[in-house]
Amino acid sequence: MTRTTDATPLDRTDPEGAIAATARRVSNWGRWGADDVLGTLNFLDEAKRVEGARLVRRGVSFSLALRFDMDGPQKGWRRRTNPVHTMLDTGTDAERGVQGFPHGIGGADDVIAMPLQASTQWDGLGHIFDHGVAWNGRRAGDVVTSDGDRVTGIETAASQFAGRGVLLDVGRAIGDDGELPDGFAITTEHLQATIAAQGESARVGRGDLLVVRTGRLARARRDLAAGRGWGDYAGGAAPGLSFTTADWLHATEIAGIATDTWGFEVRPNEFDDAFQPLHQVVIPNMGLFVGEMWDPDALAADCAQDGRYDFWLTAAPLPVTGAVGAPVNPIAVK
């Protein structure tokens, strides 16, 4: 047995038992009715959006998205590739007059082909199952078929992601030089210590959209600048949330959480034989929306400078019908 700083026993040899017990404790099945498709986004109501909108004072904005291009971090895991961008019409075509338009008008057009979770994105509620069961106790096969997710497709939540955002810069609060090492498990104690260090504007509660910065992306960005490429950013070792934070995530009643890592939770995972156990608990059982590969670095620097860690955040996913996850360009405004 090992013990986390949450003072919660964690038996590394029994992921099945730990996942089952935690899923029972934090389950939100039936909380918003049998037909619910929004999960924890139900916490983000009109009053919470008004609260978030009132946080805009300076009007400065930050995109929290990585670039969508062929030089991204994907390496083909589960057939995930980087976006492929192709031009359909170009300025060269316009110069040569081959586009077929009258009176000299020309234009450019393009197309992109990509997995929907190739870069900055939200995981939808149909993305992860627990023993063949999806969010709210539905059979996985009744939710997601070859036609896509016809129950909780990402389009059902596309209008909901706007409200009070909160940054917990755990990397800066407790890490060395603003970063956490790979394999570092962020516990509830670490999250609470970060809130205490950042002050009142970092309080986390019902309906908030939480952004956690570990510093992992900053490290990957240095590797890129040095010509070393993305390395194992996509799928490799990384800091992230400990499995033991599931109860805190449930108790705070946040609407969603996003990190600057590929997988949200710590990697390698904390059990001897498990794959993304926190995903298995929070998405199909809690109904929590998870964002990955977000870029909060510029926002974090501004927050550290002005001492304010909450902001207006709008982060609508591309409403691809039936998708189990979708790209997003989150915008934080302070």
d(CA 72, CA 257): 22
The whole-model pTM stands at 0.95
**In the chain, which ranges are continuous DSSP H helix?**
15-26, 46-53, 91-96, 140-143, 170-174, 188-198, 216-225, 246-252, 277-281, 297-306
Structure confidence at residue 77 (pLDDT): 86
- Of 20, 16, 40, 17, nearest to 28 by C-alpha is 40
Structure confidence at residue 8 (pLDDT): 55
SS3 state at 150: coil
Mean pLDDT of successive 10-residue segments in the chain (334 residues)? Answer: 48 93 98 98 98 98 97 92 96 93 95 97 98 98 98 98 98 95 98 98 98 98 96 96 98 98 97 95 98 98 98 98 98 98
SS3 state at 35: coil
d(CA 74, CA 72): 6
Structure confidence at residue 250 (pLDDT): 98
Q: Over the stretch 15-58, which tens digit does the pLDDT of each residue have?
A: 999 999 999 999 999 999 999 999 999 999 999 999 999 999 99
The domain ranges of the chain are 2-79+115-333, 84-113
327: which 2 tokens?
Answer: 């790209």
Query: CATH number of 2-79+115-333: 3.50.30.50, 3.30.420.40, 3.40.720.10, 3.40.50.720?
Result: 3.50.30.50
Structure confidence at residue 35 (pLDDT): 98
Looking only at the bridges linking them, the beta strands covering 289-292 and 256-259 are parallel
- Tell me which amino acid residue 245 is: T
Structure confidence at residue 9 (pLDDT): 67
For 177-193, the DSSP string reads TTBPPTT-EE-HHHHHH
**In 176-256, which ranges are continuous DSSP H helix?**
188-198, 216-225, 246-252
Beta strands in the chain (DSSP E): 2-3, 9-10, 61-63, 84-89, 109-113, 121-123, 144-145, 148-149, 162-169, 185-186, 209-213, 240-241, 256-259, 289-292, 310-314, 325-327, 331-333
What do you get for the CA distance between the two ends of the chain, in Å? 45
239: which 2 tokens?
Answer: 């800091």
